[in-house]
Chain A
Amino acid sequence: MAKLSDFRVRVEDALANEEVRGNFRKAMDGLMSRRLDQFPDEAELERLRTQAMAIRSNSLDNLPDLLEKLETNLTKNGIQVHWAETVEEANQHVLAIMNKHNAKSMIKGKSMVSEEMGLNHFMEELGIECLESDLGEFIIQLDGEMPSHIIMPAIHKNKRQIAKLFQEKFPDIPYTEDVDELTQTARKILREKFFNAPVGLSGVNFAVAETGTLCLVENEGNGRMSTTVPPVHIAVTGIEKVVEKLSDVPPLMSILTRSATAQPITTYVNMISSPRKEGEMDGPKEVHLVLLDNGRSNIYSDPELLATLRCIRCGACINHCPVYVRVGGHSYGTVYPGPIGTVLEPQKDGLKAHGELAQASSLCGACGEVCPVRIPLPSLINRLRYEGVRQDQSSTKDSGSRRKTAEALTWKGWSFAAQHPLIYNTGASAAASFRKLMPSKMGAWTRVRTAPPIAAKTLHQQLKAKGIDNE
């Protein structure tokens, strides 16, 4: 038996953990049904998806121009723009700002791009403390974990597990499984930090080129605190998050929050358009935006895979994925899990590192069906399988690197047989190929299923015997 890949090991562990599987099932079932309630009119939903897709497609069609315009208008507004091709560069930009202010800590609003950068780890190595202020992020940071979901990073934990974690980390506070009390505990701890942190860091949902505005949606007010209380605010985001006009924001935001958390609007909507102006009482004195590429330009160069960049990070594809709900976010071993992670990560970090994820999809289409910007996720997963085994050069990182001689030969043999009915009909039938394909793995099929029954007479034979016309 071949050694299981790290991914497969994590998957097996996850599948064996009934408590965590139960947590995901319960959470995802709730999210799916609440999302459905947000879109009672199917025709209206389809119209909104088309509209949102068109806005995002327009952003990408004009990406270079819009990024230039964004920089110009942000600069005009007094927001300092920093370009980073790699995560190393992005971290260095943040570090330089920290150093300029002699800052030894930061408070963070939720940001997946900062996860992509490995920002916390990078800063902690240098003795700079990064404190997560989003409740979910706060919980997983306490436990030394990665987010298991892009919107709800601690969704893999139930309240009992969180209560035990708090008991371990804050022994002075009495044990409780009451969600409100647990939240209050976190709030008290964080409140203090907001007022003392020299720097606040956040992500960005949309960056508006026309006005030089950074939009940030959130529910806890921690985003507002992180971006307004500390004297310096650093926003980090991917270059694809730009939109052309301010009027692009309402339709996108509406479909984003409804698709993500089934809310018509989030509790807080932040529109950040400048640092504190003269005479103003509050707000940061400096605002920075770090724009990260990290492989996005490369994705952009492929006319089909480009659709990956339409993503507005709502997580609906994740919530509806029958694979994700069973294996959970950590199994993927990537920053972004679920269908969008399956599509984005192998392109971003290469097929060698994450190409295996493309196999972990039954191509059921549930993700593509709910995507608010109509990213054809199953088609892109199929495309990445092709990228993994193709023999010619392509722009996708590590294309062809997953081709294995034995498997390629099997498909060549299958193809030859299926082009020659006489050969095909004498033994190279579908079921036979199905078994031959991975002989060592047929065992896994029969671990929970009986083997496919092979018919005594094929359909070809039976219909011929019945005299059905051949042409």
Chain B
Amino acid sequence: MTTLLQPDSVYFYGTCLIDSVYPNAGVSAVELLQRAGIRVIYPQAQTCCGQPAWNSGYRDEAREVARKQIALFPKDIPIVVPSGSCGGMMKHHYPELFKGEPDEAMALQVAGRIYEFTEFLVDVLEIKLAGKGVKTDVAIHTSCSARREMGVADKIEQLVGQLENITVHEQHHKKECCGFGGTFAIKEPEISASMVTDKADAIRETGASVMITQDCGCMMNISGAFEYENQHHALRMPQSKHIAEFLLERSEVLCTKYDINVPETSDTTEDATHG
């Protein structure tokens, strides 16, 4: 486990997909961290972790982009990434990408400070949440990178499990890939289409009204299928939410392990972060 001292501030790495397609997921994650009493630093010079090029075999192109990213986090504080995929790239593939390079030490140093967003909430902050809002049936889609690369498959369950009024339904073939895979969806569109159609069906069959995920690649893929099937076949369309958006809407932060500026117990009504 982490040997972090009280993390009173973190870097936030928003990811390129959130930047341009799902900024609300990023804004929600930042707000949630703030409500947990954390100061968030967002280096404006961030662009993309380099994974698209890395996974396409263009390693030099990926490395030059990654080199710019690793220079953005000079302070020795956690780097929170609201994506298992980009987090996995930075934590596990930067060390490979910079092996034997002059920046190897810096890449390793950055890799060691990467936390996927839900991992940070659960393992580092040990956040306690209280649910709010109406009774809702949800399904959780964990990205393959969160599950297998970052090893944080159970974190969304642990967060959502704290919220009364939220019932989690399990879709069949839950651990199977949704078929996004970055450029895979473009290079092998037929296989990807078959995978996402099955995934969307499985989630729809649970009866859940909301699908929650921690990766916007999967979300773009699955919600795109939901919407298409809704438009063309009038099938029911569950909403798709990044876990940060969902938690911001449906929960209050009660406290964290560090209790930084957060009320100690749920009966303390004052919300210190609004000060």
Contact = CB atoms under 8 A, between A and B. Distances in A.
Contact of B144 (A364, A385, A411, A433): A364
Contact of A453 (B21, B149, B192, B228): B21
Interface in A260-282: none
Contacts of B50: 418
A388 B189 CA distance: 20
Contact of A359 (B16, B43, B184, B190): B184
A281 to B, nearest CB: 52
Nearest to B82: A459
Contacts of B59: 386, 390
A451 B44 CA distance: 27
A322 interface: yes
Contacts of A414: 52-53, 61
B131 interface: no
Interface in B81-108: 96
Interface string A412-452: 10110111010011000111111001100110111111111
Interface stretch (B160-168, B217-225, B252-260, B265-273): B217-225
A401 interface: no
Contacts of A471: 41, 43
B228 A459 contact: no
A362 B195 contact: yes
A471 B43 CA distance: 6
Contacts of A387: 57
B14 interface: yes
Going nearest first, the 4 A-B pairs with the smallest beta carbon separation are: A362-B181, A444-B189, A449-B224, A430-B16
A438 B186 contact: yes
A110 to B, nearest CB: 28
A450 B21 contact: no
Interface stretch (A94-102, A112-120, A213-221, A365-373): A365-373
Contacts of A463: 14, 26-27, 30, 42
A469 B58 contact: no
Given A411-B58, A418-B68, A454-B21, A362 B45 contact: no
B79 interface: no
B23 A382 contact: no
B44 A365 contact: no
B44 A430 contact: no
B176 to A, nearest CB: 5
A412 B53 CA distance: 9
Given A386-B57, A418-B16, A459-B23, 11 more contacts: A323-B188, A362-B180, A411-B56, A412-B61, A415-B61, A415-B65, A458-B19, A459-B20, A459-B27, A463-B30, A463-B42
Given A8-B190, A366-B176, A447-B189, A411 B53 contact: yes
A432 B20 contact: yes
Interface of A: 8, 11-12, 15, 322-323, 326-327, 359-366, 368-369, 379, 382, 385-390, 407-408, 411-412, 414-415, 417-419, 421, 424-425, 429-434, 437-438, 441-442, 444-455, 457-464, 466, 468-471
A30 to B, nearest CB: 13
Contacts of B193: 444, 447-449
A390 B43 contact: no
Interface of B: 12, 14, 16-24, 26-27, 30, 39-48, 50, 52-62, 64-65, 67-68, 96, 144-145, 147-149, 175-177, 179-197, 220-221, 224-225, 227-228, 231
B177 A362 contact: yes
Contacts of A359: 184, 187-188
A429 to B, nearest CB: 4
A364 B16 contact: no
B203 to A, nearest CB: 14
Contacts, number: 217
B224 A364 contact: no
A364 B142 CA distance: 11
Contacts of A444: 186, 189-190, 193
B173 to A, nearest CB: 8
Nearest to A469: B41
Contacts of A407: 56
B183 A437 contact: yes
Nearest to A403: B57
A112 to B, nearest CB: 24
Contacts of A459: 14, 18-20, 23, 26-27
Given A12-B190, A363-B55, A415-B58, A431 B20 contact: yes
18 contacts: A8-B188, A364-B181, A385-B57, A386-B57, A386-B58, A386-B59, A408-B58, A411-B53, A415-B60, A434-B186, A437-B183, A444-B186, A444-B193, A459-B23, A462-B23, A463-B14, A468-B30, A469-B39
Contacts of B68: 418-419
A419 B175 CA distance: 35
B191 A327 contact: yes
A411 B180 contact: no
Contacts of B224: 445, 449-452
Nearest to B96: A379
A418 B190 contact: no
Contacts of A464: 44
Contact of B184 (A327, A361, A365, A379): A361
Given A362-B180, A366-B177, A458-B20, A382 B41 contact: no
A460 B44 contact: yes
Report which residue of A448, A451, A463 has the largest number of chain B beta carbons within 10 angstroms of its beta carbon: A448
B42 A469 contact: yes
Report which residue of A449, A452, A457 has the largest number of chain B beta carbons within 10 angstroms of its beta carbon: A449
B54 A382 contact: yes
Nearest to A7: B188
A430 B46 CA distance: 12
Contacts of B177: 322, 362, 364, 366
B228 A448 contact: yes
B85 to A, nearest CB: 10
